[in-house]
Amino acid sequence: MLGLVVVVTPALHGQTVPEDAIAAAIQAGLSKKQSGSLIVSGFSSMFTLVVDGPLTRVQAKASTAAKEYRTFTRADVTADLLEPVVTITAVPDDPVFNRFSGWTLTPLATRIVLQPKAKGAAAIQPTKVETFPMSWGNAMGGQFQGQGVTASFPIGLIPPEDFEAIVITDGREYRMTIKAKDRSKIR
């Protein structure tokens, strides 16, 4: 089973993000040229999940700027980057060819919901869902199309205990457990 991490920190739960934390996220992105996002993938999952909080979204933007040799300052940090939400993006895996069964394509992702582990608990619905197209080609001229999805959840609705992120596709669901012990990796 795969692990996915979401962090709920008191500094971000229903409050504004401290300026010193924003400055640190910018510096980390510029100096390391790494996004800081939690990346989750695994054997036969069909998706790679990218999980971000406000500070990792800022760090990711700064990292992209650094990789492109552009500047990035506090003035480049928009309100949507600091929105008190956790975003989970399901990116489809590349098509895989098996000589016995042919091409395996990831189903089209349409939504992500969170399911607390507590018995009888209702699924947590996202406040915003956006799908995005993906395409792949191969050396033989083959073209493949897919679809990923990004869902936003208010930080205050993230369960404090372990829960599942469920990627809903046009054919089935893909469930991944998010462990409470790993929450500090998302800011």
pLDDT digits (tens, 9 = 90+) for 1-49: 333 333 333 344 445 889 999 999 999 999 977 777 777 776 567 888 8
Of the candidates 168, 159, 176, 157, the one whose C-alpha atom is nearest the C-alpha of residue 116 is 159
Q: What number of other Cβ atoms are within 10 A of residue 6's Cβ?
A: 25
Of the candidates 6, 27, 3, 32, the one whose C-alpha atom is nearest the C-alpha of residue 159 is 6
Tell me the three state secondary structure of residue 158: coil
- Give the total number of structural domains in the chain: 1
Range of the domain at 76: 3-185
Spans in the chain with pLDDT lower than 70: 1-15, 42-44
Query: Global pTM?
Result: 0.83
